[in-house]
Amino acid sequence: MEIKAVCILKDQHDMYPYPHDLPDPVSGVNGIVVFESHANGQVLIKGSFTGLTRGKHGLHVCTFGNLFNGYHSIGPHFNPRKKFHGGQHDKERHVGDLGNVEANEEGVAEFQIEDHLISLSGTESVIGRAMVIQAEEDDLGKGENEESLITGNAATGLAWGVIGIAEITAS
Ligand code: ZN
Protein backbone atom coordinates (compact mmCIF):
# COMPACT_ATOMS: atom_id res chain seq x y z
CA MET A 1 0.00 0.00 0.00
CA GLU A 2 1.34 3.39 -0.94
CA ILE A 3 0.03 6.50 0.70
CA LYS A 4 0.29 10.07 -0.42
CA ALA A 5 -0.45 12.92 1.94
CA VAL A 6 -0.54 16.65 1.56
CA CYS A 7 -0.31 19.66 3.82
CA ILE A 8 -1.36 23.15 2.73
CA LEU A 9 0.38 25.66 4.99
CA LYS A 10 -1.06 29.12 5.45
CA ASP A 11 -0.94 31.99 7.87
CA GLN A 12 -4.42 31.03 8.91
CA HIS A 13 -5.39 33.75 11.34
CA ASP A 14 -8.41 34.62 9.22
CA MET A 15 -9.72 31.06 9.55
CA TYR A 16 -10.18 31.16 13.31
CA PRO A 17 -13.77 30.53 14.32
CA TYR A 18 -13.77 33.41 16.79
CA PRO A 19 -12.11 36.81 16.88
CA HIS A 20 -8.68 36.55 18.40
CA ASP A 21 -6.16 38.91 19.85
CA LEU A 22 -2.94 37.05 19.28
CA PRO A 23 0.09 39.28 18.84
CA ASP A 24 1.28 37.43 15.73
CA PRO A 25 1.69 39.61 12.68
CA VAL A 26 0.32 38.29 9.41
CA SER A 27 3.28 36.61 7.73
CA GLY A 28 2.05 36.24 4.17
CA VAL A 29 3.85 32.89 4.00
CA ASN A 30 2.23 30.06 2.06
CA GLY A 31 3.37 26.57 1.28
CA ILE A 32 2.50 23.10 0.13
CA VAL A 33 4.21 19.91 1.26
CA VAL A 34 3.58 16.49 -0.27
CA PHE A 35 4.46 13.17 1.39
CA GLU A 36 4.84 9.83 -0.40
CA SER A 37 5.45 6.55 1.37
CA HIS A 38 7.79 4.17 -0.41
CA ALA A 39 8.12 0.40 -0.13
CA ASN A 40 11.60 0.72 1.43
CA GLY A 41 10.12 2.49 4.45
CA GLN A 42 11.35 5.92 3.47
CA VAL A 43 8.95 8.77 3.03
CA LEU A 44 9.67 11.32 0.31
CA ILE A 45 8.79 14.83 1.45
CA LYS A 46 8.81 17.64 -1.08
CA GLY A 47 7.41 21.08 -1.02
CA SER A 48 7.68 24.77 -1.65
CA PHE A 49 7.10 27.95 0.30
CA THR A 50 6.69 31.56 -0.73
CA GLY A 51 6.80 34.79 1.24
CA LEU A 52 9.74 33.85 3.49
CA THR A 53 12.66 36.00 4.51
CA ARG A 54 15.90 34.93 2.86
CA GLY A 55 17.72 32.21 4.78
CA LYS A 56 16.91 29.12 6.81
CA HIS A 57 13.61 28.32 8.48
CA GLY A 58 12.81 25.34 10.69
CA LEU A 59 10.24 22.83 9.44
CA HIS A 60 8.47 20.63 11.96
CA VAL A 61 5.60 18.21 12.37
CA CYS A 62 3.84 18.94 15.64
CA THR A 63 1.72 16.67 17.82
CA PHE A 64 -1.80 17.94 17.23
CA GLY A 65 -3.79 18.89 14.16
CA ASN A 66 -5.67 21.46 16.21
CA LEU A 67 -5.56 24.83 14.43
CA PHE A 68 -8.11 26.39 16.77
CA ASN A 69 -5.49 28.85 17.98
CA GLY A 70 -3.19 28.76 14.98
CA TYR A 71 0.26 27.30 15.58
CA HIS A 72 -0.18 27.95 19.32
CA SER A 73 -2.52 24.96 19.62
CA ILE A 74 -0.61 22.35 17.59
CA GLY A 75 1.50 21.25 20.54
CA PRO A 76 5.19 20.40 20.73
CA HIS A 77 7.18 18.70 17.97
CA PHE A 78 5.78 15.21 17.37
CA ASN A 79 7.86 13.04 19.67
CA PRO A 80 6.42 9.55 20.22
CA ARG A 81 9.89 8.17 21.03
CA LYS A 82 10.56 10.58 23.89
CA LYS A 83 13.78 12.01 22.46
CA PHE A 84 15.39 15.42 22.59
CA HIS A 85 15.12 17.84 19.68
CA GLY A 86 17.66 17.40 16.90
CA GLY A 87 18.35 17.56 13.20
CA GLN A 88 16.74 15.33 10.60
CA HIS A 89 19.83 13.14 10.29
CA ASP A 90 20.57 12.89 14.03
CA LYS A 91 19.90 9.79 16.10
CA GLU A 92 18.57 12.01 18.85
CA ARG A 93 15.63 13.82 17.29
CA HIS A 94 11.92 14.14 17.43
CA VAL A 95 10.07 12.24 14.73
CA GLY A 96 8.74 15.64 13.65
CA ASP A 97 12.19 17.22 13.25
CA LEU A 98 12.76 17.95 9.56
CA GLY A 99 15.59 20.46 9.89
CA ASN A 100 15.55 23.65 7.86
CA VAL A 101 14.47 24.78 4.46
CA GLU A 102 16.33 27.68 2.86
CA ALA A 103 14.64 30.55 1.10
CA ASN A 104 16.29 32.47 -1.73
CA GLU A 105 16.28 36.24 -2.28
CA GLU A 106 12.76 36.06 -3.64
CA GLY A 107 11.59 34.40 -0.43
CA VAL A 108 11.00 31.08 -2.16
CA ALA A 109 12.13 27.78 -0.65
CA GLU A 110 11.86 24.52 -2.54
CA PHE A 111 12.99 21.29 -0.98
CA GLN A 112 12.94 17.53 -1.36
CA ILE A 113 14.07 15.18 1.39
CA GLU A 114 13.74 11.53 2.31
CA ASP A 115 13.05 10.57 5.89
CA HIS A 116 13.04 7.23 7.69
CA LEU A 117 11.08 8.28 10.81
CA ILE A 118 8.13 10.12 9.32
CA SER A 119 5.37 7.62 8.57
CA LEU A 120 1.94 7.90 7.01
CA SER A 121 0.37 4.88 8.74
CA GLY A 122 0.61 2.99 12.01
CA THR A 123 0.98 4.22 15.58
CA GLU A 124 3.48 6.96 14.67
CA SER A 125 1.59 8.26 11.66
CA VAL A 126 1.73 11.99 11.05
CA ILE A 127 -1.69 12.01 9.35
CA GLY A 128 -3.99 14.41 11.19
CA ARG A 129 -1.10 16.21 12.83
CA ALA A 130 0.08 19.68 11.92
CA MET A 131 3.13 20.95 10.09
CA VAL A 132 4.63 24.39 10.68
CA ILE A 133 7.28 26.52 8.99
CA GLN A 134 9.11 28.67 11.52
CA ALA A 135 10.26 32.27 11.53
CA GLU A 136 13.73 31.31 12.75
CA GLU A 137 16.46 28.86 11.79
CA ASP A 138 16.33 25.58 13.70
CA ASP A 139 19.66 25.16 15.54
CA LEU A 140 19.12 21.37 15.42
CA GLY A 141 19.62 20.94 19.15
CA LYS A 142 23.14 22.42 19.04
CA GLY A 143 22.26 25.80 20.59
CA GLU A 144 23.67 24.90 24.02
CA ASN A 145 20.62 26.09 25.89
CA GLU A 146 17.54 24.36 27.23
CA GLU A 147 15.21 25.55 24.48
CA SER A 148 17.54 24.15 21.83
CA LEU A 149 16.74 20.60 22.96
CA ILE A 150 12.99 21.32 22.83
CA THR A 151 12.36 23.53 19.79
CA GLY A 152 15.78 24.27 18.29
CA ASN A 153 15.05 27.89 19.22
CA ALA A 154 12.62 28.07 16.32
CA ALA A 155 9.18 28.28 17.86
CA THR A 156 7.39 31.11 16.11
CA GLY A 157 5.19 29.81 13.33
CA LEU A 158 4.81 31.60 10.01
CA ALA A 159 2.42 29.19 8.32
CA TRP A 160 0.83 25.91 9.34
CA GLY A 161 -1.63 23.27 8.24
CA VAL A 162 -2.94 19.78 8.94
CA ILE A 163 -1.45 16.80 7.10
CA GLY A 164 -4.21 14.92 5.28
CA ILE A 165 -4.40 11.78 3.18
CA ALA A 166 -4.31 12.61 -0.52
CA GLU A 167 -4.30 9.16 -2.11
CA ILE A 168 -4.02 5.50 -1.14
CA THR A 169 -2.88 2.99 -3.74
CA ALA A 170 -3.20 -0.72 -3.07
CA SER A 171 -0.14 -2.62 -4.27
ZN1 ZN B 1 12.02 18.86 17.62
Give residue-wise pLDDT tens across range 58-109.
Answer: 999 999 999 888 898 999 999 999 999 999 999 999 999 999 999 999 999 9
Quick count: other Cβ atoms within 10 Å of Cβ 20? 13
> In this structure, is residue 171 part of a structural domain?
no
When divided into structural domains, the chain yields a total of 1
Predicted pLDDT at 25: 73
Tell me the CA–centroid distance for residue 157 and ligand 1, in Å.
14
Model confidence at 171: pLDDT above 60: yes
Neighbours of ion ligand 1 (CB under 5 A): 77, 85, 94, 97
Give the CA angle between residues 51, 12, 117 to the nearest 5°. 80
Q: What span, in angstroms and rounded, lies between the C-alpha atoms of 113 and 42?
A: 10
**CA atoms in the 13 A half-sphere facing the CB of 51:** 15
Structural domain harbouring 69? 4-166
Instruction: Output the domain CATH number for residue 34.
Output: 2.60.40.200
Enter the pTM of the model: 0.93
Tell me the CA–centroid distance for residue 169 and ligand 1, in Å.
30
Predicted pLDDT at 29: 96
Tell me the CA–centroid distance for residue 171 and ligand 1, in Å.
33
Predicted pLDDT at 6: 98
